[in-house]
């Protein structure tokens, strides 16, 4: 055990799975799925306020057994031995770090992320994590996490269907605004004059 963090966990202040509560006087420990209020953190034995450590479970899988260790400490269920596609690819076989084509955005949620300093960031995709942090994917394929206190607003960008339906019967989706499609390409998006 490292400090008071169990061996099967790691400290994770950004996107925790679990909270370890520990009394500084009597050493009583408790686990909680949610961050308890001040009243809920009082030790029942000695009436002291317990400390809170946000943690995430560490996978017991080793990299040699066909799973891939992710940069956040988790493992991928994809690749050899897993149910999904090869590591580094998405379900459609497209590499996860490839640029996003502004004329093929059906699987994405393009938006403007407005930060607390009033700057706008035009992203190909975003998702809000359980911790409140926002994961964004830029048009060049780079993925980053932004803390909630640095975001003022998220404005969705309109998409439209066009052309002929594919094998699944659905028409592809693209950014509705031609100027935004061009701007996405300039920011590293796929398509156009490659």
State the pLDDT at residue 35: 74
State the pLDDT at residue 113: 94
State the pLDDT at residue 97: 66
Average pLDDT by consecutive 10-residue portion of the chain (194 residues)? 67 80 84 76 84 76 45 44 42 58 90 88 91 90 90 92 81 91 88 54
CA–CA gap between residue 83 and residue 91 (Å, rounded): 11
Residue 3: partners with Cβ closer than 8 Å, 6 or more residues away? none
Q: What is the pTM of this model?
A: 0.50
The full set of domain ranges for the chain reads: 1-86, 111-186
State the pLDDT at residue 192: 54
Query: Cα–Cα distances in Å, from 162 out to 110, 127, 159, 166?
Result: 17, 25, 10, 11
């Amino acid at each position: 055990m490292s400090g008071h963090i169990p061996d099967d966990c790691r400290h994770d202040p950004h996107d925790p799975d679990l909270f370890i509560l520990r009394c500084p006087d009597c050493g009583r420990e408790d686990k909680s799925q949610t961050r308890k209020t001040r009243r809920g953190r009082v030790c029942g034995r000695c009436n002291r306020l317990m400390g809170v450590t946000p943690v995430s479970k560490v996978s017991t899988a080793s990299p040699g057994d066909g799973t891939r260790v992710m940069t956040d400490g988790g493992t991928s269920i994809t690749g050899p031995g897993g149910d999904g596609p090869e590591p580094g690819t998405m379900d459609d076989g497209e590499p996860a770090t490839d640029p996003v084509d502004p004329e093929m955005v059906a699987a994405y949620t393009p938006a403007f992320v407005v930060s607390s300093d009033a700057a706008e960031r035009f992203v190909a995709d975003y998702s809000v994590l359980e911790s409140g942090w926002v994961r964004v994917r830029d048009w060049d394929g780079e993925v980053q996490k932004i803390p909630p206190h640095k975001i003022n607003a998220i404005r969705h960008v309109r998409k439209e269907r066009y052309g002929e339906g594919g094998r699944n019967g659905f028409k592809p989706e693209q950014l509705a605004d031609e100027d935004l499609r061009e701007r996405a390409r300039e920011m590293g998006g796929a398509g156009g004059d490659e």
